[in-house]
Structure formats: C-alpha cells, structure tokens
A and B are shown apart, each in its own frame.
Chain A
C-alpha cells in the first residue's frame, strides 16, 4: 500500500507542467462561478490606512496618486476605488496626479465611476485630475516645491489657475494627506523619500503584493501610515468601509488557488525527498 502511494506521488511529481497550469486555472475560475463567501478580516496594516483616512477633518485636501496601469489593474484598481469612495463619503477634496502615463487612464476610469456616477460630484470643486507628468521622482520633487511649475493645466486642458479647488494649493505641504496607489517605480517609495518625509505630510499607500516587502519597512517605522497589500488589502478595505467590490469577489479564488499551490509545493518537496533517498540507496 505504502509503495503504491509513493509511486503515485512520484508519478504526480513527473506530471507535465501544463496540467498544473490547468489545475491552477480551474482553482481560480471555479470559485468565481461558485463563490464560497469566506470571511474577510482586516489586518493591522489595512486598519491603519482606514484610521488615517478617518482622522481627516471634512474638506481636507487629499492628494491621490495613480501609479499603475492595465497590467496591475486587478490588484490596485479595487483599492483606488475603495479609497475614493471612503474619501468622498467623508467629504474630502481629492487631487489626483499620475506618475505613470497609463495611470491617467486608470484615474479617469475610477473618477468617472465614483465621483461622477456614484456621488454626482462637481469637477474642479470636489475633485480634480491633474494628470500625468513624466520625470519620475523629479515630478514628486517638483510638486513639493511648486505644483504650478509642473501643472499649468489639468488633464482636461483647463488652466490650473481657473480651477476653484486649486486656490491656495501650491505645493505638497498644502495637502493634509497623500495616498499613493502604486505598482512599482516610480511610486510609494518615491513619495516617501521626496514628499512625505521632507514635508511631514502623512501618507498611506496601496501596492501590488510583490511590492509589500519593499514598502513594509516604511510602514513599520511609521513613515507610511499602513498599507493595502494587493487584492487582499483591497478586499479588507472594502469590508471596513462596508462596500464590497471587485476585491472581495476575488478573494475566494485567491484563497483556493493558494491552497492548491501549497499542495503542489508539498507534493514537489515529498517527491524531491523520496527521489533523493532512492538515489542514495542505489
């Protein structure tokens, strides 16, 4: 019996990797068709982002930066949507910049859905899309010294001086809070290094999962107030604001897929150890 099990495990270890792709695909797809409704509980890092936003007075000036594109949309877009929802519910003024060119697309998408359609807010009075400027960290540095040098017009071509909510907003220090929705460079780290740390303006972030380990030291040291870590972070934030969205709907698939991957890793290791033992034996 034991021999049969060992042979079975070894045969699984030799399976064509395309079967593994198929199993992972099914593990992701099936929970999307048949949701399990697994519970979502906010981590401390997510709770800190929520608390930081909650602490803001109404009509605070919040700078939200979109640093992601279609390739990372499933991870970052849900959290950008959730953050905008939270900010608009609390009557904050939102100023949107983009360090990535495709971030402007994402920002337009999110603002149309949330600010225009859901909340019916007025462009230029409640929110403004300043748009993309190339230059990476030089843009952040420029925003810290003088916004108007970089942005004479917004993304729609309106002169910044003609936008009501831009009155008395000249540099990063004029904002009460920064939120960076970031998928890499330039992104969260550049905002910490060139804006939040030098000016003392509090900031939070939402990043792709792969970036979490790089950003976590800034969260631990208090330089960043919490972090939304990938799709789970978005789902947790959606749970906190009581508005389930795309992040929440993907979490069942995320959990099942992880379970399957862990099983594959366990099988892979067992196969490796059996093969090593056999090789030593003979």
Chain B
C-alpha cells in the first residue's frame, strides 16, 4: 500500500516535472507508462476474449474427448495449463469450429512483422475494415443522419414555449438553432463563391462555428483542470504520515536533483522544449 503510494507520487511528479523542462524523471515515467499500458491491454485482451471466447469455443470442456485427434492436438499445449487446462476450456461454450476462421485471420495479421509474409496481413485487415465500415454506416445513418434530422425538425412557433429563455427551449432559441443550422450548412457549400448575400450568410455560419469551437476549448480547459485537481487530491492524500510523507520527500528529492542539474548546466546552451519563445 505504502510502496504503491510512493510509486504513484513519483510517477505523478515525474510527469509534472516536464512543465519545467524535459528531464530523466519524465522520460522514466513516460516509458513506464507506455510499457505497462501495452502489457496490461495485451493481457486483458487475451484473458477476456482470446482465451475464453476463441479457445473456449474451439476446445470446450463440454465436448472433451481425450481420444479424439482434435483434443490430442489440444493436449500438446498442456504445458501452458493456465491457458489450455486439462479437460478442455470450461467457459460455457459449445464447440464452434467456424471460429478457426477468425483465429486464422488473427494469425495472418500478426504476420505483418515478416517482410515475406506481410501480404497475408491484408486479409485480416480487409475483414476488419469491411466489418467496421458496415457497422458504422448503419449506426451513422440511423443516429446521426435520421436521428439528428428528426431532432432538428421542431415547431418554431410552439405556443407552449416562452418567447425567451436563457436556458432550455424557447421560441427565440428555436430561431437561433434554425439560423445556426442553415448558415452553418451554407458555410460548407463550396460550389458557389462565398460573396454577396450568400457570403454574408456564410459569415454568420462562421460565427456559429466559432462559438462552438470556443465552447469546445472551454470544455477542454475544464477537463484538464479536473485532471490536475485529481492528481493534486492524490498528492495531498499521500503527503500524510500514513504514507511516510511520500509527496513531500519525493518532491524535495526531485527539486534538489533538478536544481543541481540546472546548476551544473549553467552556461551551457540548452534547448528548452517547453519555453520555445524566440524573442
């Protein structure tokens, strides 16, 4: 528990130290993050899908027969008993040999590492791309095209609505949505030059887009601040005596080492990736 807290504090402060300048602490944290993420994802993918849902369907425990050629082949892998346990894989599946097809496609995708056999990877990629395109075409058409058209087709002069409301539905806001939608769409019509009255309308569209980008920027800032709050809350928590004042000690050591490094580098021309002002 305490060791975990110290590691967490070190990694947090190491990443934040990049705000001062690129340094070995940051590099260590960056590499650890990439390595652990890859390892974790790979292991999760294997144990939640490949082992139970692929191998579990090819060699299910329900149809285990040690005398059959198929399970004799399976028993050859018995040395990896956690993946291929004795008596077949009991994950609630029946045997479906059709799953040999995705298994083969998966192996073919891995062959992209070999320059001679990399052409085989195209089959797996082609299947994945085709499936994703089919899935997405349906989803976008239904929810983004039809759903959004239905959502924006409203009665402007709805007598149940107030004339004006800052938040929520109102006749004024209905007009804002109508004008914003039409002028925004007009801006993306490039078959006609944006001049004259048409140009004026597209300019209104630009203003709507700018407001939308501004809102996105504001939300992005809010999100980043939230993440910083989260890290600070953890750092404060780990600065307590229950964790042997992990935050304070690691911060002190890091500041001293970075300060010493800066002192030793004094006078040397240093490129700072953070402060790239040229004036």
Interface on A for B, CB 8 Å cutoff? 14, 16-18, 21, 24-25, 28-29, 32-33, 43-44, 71-75, 101-102, 104, 131-135, 137-138, 141, 148, 150, 152-153, 159-161, 189-190, 192-194, 197-198, 208-213, 217-218, 220-223, 229-232, 246, 249-250, 253-254, 257-258, 261
Contacts and interface: CB of A to CB of B under 8 A. Distances in A.
Interface in B220-247: 220-223, 225-233, 236
25 contacts: A16-B275, A16-B277, A24-B228, A28-B225, A28-B232, A29-B232, A44-B168, A74-B227, A74-B229, A101-B40, A102-B40, A137-B132, A160-B92, A194-B139, A197-B147, A209-B219, A209-B223, A210-B219, A210-B223, A217-B148, A221-B147, A221-B151, A230-B222, A253-B229, A254-B226
B227 A72 contact: yes
B52 interface: yes
Contacts of A223: 143, 147, 151
Contacts of A17: 274-275, 277
B27 interface: no
Contact of B227 (A16, A71, A133): A71
A246 B151 contact: no
Contacts of A210: 216, 219-220, 223
Interface in B91-140: 91-93, 131-132, 135-136, 139-140
The 9 closest A-B CB pairs, nearest first, are A221-B151, A74-B230, A193-B139, A152-B92, A209-B223, A101-B44, A231-B226, A209-B219, A209-B222
A44 B168 CA distance: 7
B91 A153 contact: yes
A131 to B, nearest CB: 6
Interface in B1-55: 19-20, 40-41, 44-45, 48-49, 52-53
A193 B232 contact: no
A152 B91 contact: yes
A24 B227 CA distance: 13
- Provide the main secondary structure of the chain B interface: helix
Nearest to A161: B92
Give chain B's interface residue range (CB within 8 Å of chain A).
Answer: 35 or more
A75 B228 CA distance: 10
A171 to B, nearest CB: 17
- Most chain A CB within 10 A, of B44, B142, B223, is at B223
Nearest to B167: A44
A232 B222 CA distance: 9
Contacts of B52: 152-153
Contact of B222 (A104, A222, A231): A231
A3 B56 CA distance: 78
A78 B98 CA distance: 43
Given A101-B44, A102-B40, A258-B221, A75 B142 contact: no
B215 interface: yes
B160 interface: no
B261 interface: no
B128 to A, nearest CB: 10
Interface string B144-172: 10011011100000000000000110000
A229 B226 CA distance: 11
Contacts of A71: 227
A137 B135 contact: yes
A231 B147 contact: no
Nearest to A208: B223
Contacts of A231: 222, 226, 229
Given A159-B92, A229-B219, A74 B48 contact: no
B139 A261 contact: no
B142 A197 contact: yes
A156 B102 CA distance: 26
